[in-house]
């Protein structure tokens, strides 16, 4: 934030990664004014109303994105990046028995969360939270394919919960523990 400059810009493929705070950081960096540069105002005008399903907040977010972002996709006719054709390679991952049981634990959790998501009806914030949890579980499944220790403690916790009750609950404590674990892995 303390970089002295006449103008600033950000290049990103994902202006909002997980939370609207991601967008807040970008807007603050580019020097937006008018109140939204204050986190309290940003939360009260945008974040909380969006969580509550406010149509006005949705329009405000769309207006902000339209005003402060320039979106370009490779399908646009005037964009010619001269990129080579995408080649995909699929490799089957053979799990050990231990790895398979860990992956299966996440798969069971994902199926349970998917059923919960499907049964949410039209409850906006509840459905959004269930969907976010489902995406988090899918991330852990991908991490298991790379190496189970990327989410080791979380895997063990999920397996313990599955053994005890056949279901897994994702709460603030398990989420915080997971974030701490991922931060350690990122830093190391």
Cβ atoms of 36 and 47 closer than 8 Å: no
Q: What percent of the chain stands above pLDDT 70?
A: 73
The reply to whether 23 falls in a domain is: yes
> According to the model, what pLDDT value does residue 121 have?
63
Q: How many domains does the chain have?
A: 2
Per-residue pLDDT tens over the stretch 115-142: 877 776 655 667 777 777 788 888 888 8
Range of the domain at 177: 97-187
The verdict on 104 and 60 lying in the same domain is no
Which of the residue ranges 18-22, 84-88, 142-146 has the most confident prediction, judged by mean pLDDT? 84-88
The reply to whether 81 falls in a domain is: no
The reply to whether 88 falls in a domain is: no
Cβ atoms of 127 and 117 closer than 8 Å: yes
Per-residue pLDDT tens over the stretch 18-56: 778 888 888 888 888 888 888 888 888 888 998 888 889
Mean predicted lDDT score pLDDT of the chain? 77
Residue ending a domain, choose from 73, 107, 125: 73
The reply to whether 80 falls in a domain is: no
The verdict on 67 and 25 lying in the same domain is yes
Q: CA–CA separation, 149 vs 138, rounded Å?
A: 16
Judged against a pLDDT cut of 80, whether residue 84 lies above it is answered with yes
> According to the model, what pLDDT value does residue 168 have?
47
Side-chain half-sphere of 132: how many Cα atoms within 13 Å?
13
The reply to whether 90 falls in a domain is: no
The reply to whether 2 falls in a domain is: yes
Radius of gyration, CA atoms only, the chain: 21
Q: CA–CA separation, 103 vs 70, rounded Å?
A: 39
């Amino acid at each position: 934030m303390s970089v002295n400059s006449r103008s600033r810009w950000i290049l990103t493929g994902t202006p909002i990664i997980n939370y609207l705070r991601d967008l807040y950081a970008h807007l603050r960096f580019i020097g937006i004014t008018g109140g939204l540069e204050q986190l309290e105002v940003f939360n009260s005008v945008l974040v909380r109303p969006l969580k509550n399903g406010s149509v006005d907040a949705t329009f405000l977010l769309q207006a902000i994105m339209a005003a402060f972002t320039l979106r370009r996709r490779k399908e646009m006719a005037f964009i010619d990046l001269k990129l080579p054709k995408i080649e995909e390679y699929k490799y089957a991952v053979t799990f050990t028995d231990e790895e398979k049981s860990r992956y299966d634990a996440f798969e069971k959790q994902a199926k349970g969360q998917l059923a919960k998501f499907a049964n949410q009806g039209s409850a906006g914030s509840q459905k959004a939270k269930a969907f976010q949890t489902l995406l988090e579980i899918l991330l852990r499944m991908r991490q298991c394919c790379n190496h189970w220790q990327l989410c080791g403690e979380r895997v063990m916790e999920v397996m313990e919960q599955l053994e005890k009750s056949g279901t897994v609950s994702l709460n603030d404590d398990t989420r915080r523990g997971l974030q701490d674990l991922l931060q350690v892995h990122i830093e190391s």
